[in-house]
Amino acid sequence: MTAGLRRGPARPGDGWPGDFAAPTTPVAASPALVRELAAGAPDADTLDARMSVCRACPRLVAWREEVAQVRRAAFAAQPYWGRPVSSFGPADARILIVGLAPAAHGGNRTGRIFTGDRS
């Protein structure tokens, strides 16, 4: 993993495995911009990239970035994703599950959903 042990969230384009975002990926900072960027995404990879850098909810951004800074002792030596977690699975799936839940030391650490936290 090239994200290293830096404190805080992985930066887009750092080389984190599976990161679709680049330093130039547009960042939503308001609900209106979330809607605009999501509606304008030409494919699922672009949508995942835009979602993974979203900063529209200041409270959630502060929480996930704090967790990526102040790590649990069991994971202190591991890099943390610290950004919104993108989807997985085929882009043409018949069912899409959308949710919002803190992922503390599971998804927030690994960048993948359903990776150990009870949430």
Query: Could you report the per-residue pLDDT of 54-113, keeping only the tens digit for each?
Result: 999 999 899 888 888 888 888 888 888 888 887 778 878 888 776 666 666 777 777 776
For 24-56, what is each residue's pLDDT tens digit? 999 999 999 999 999 999 998 899 999 999 999
pLDDT at position 42: 95
pLDDT at position 3: 46
Residue holding tokens 């979203």? 54
Q: Residue 26: exposed, middle, or buried by beta-carbon count in 10 A (0-12, 13-18, 19+)? A: middle
pTM of the model: 0.79
Query: How many CB atoms within 10 Å of residue 53?
Result: 21
CA distance 47 to 29: 15
Q: How far is CA 55 from the centre of its chain?
A: 10
The residue length of the chain stands at: 119
pLDDT at position 22: 95
pLDDT at position 79: 85
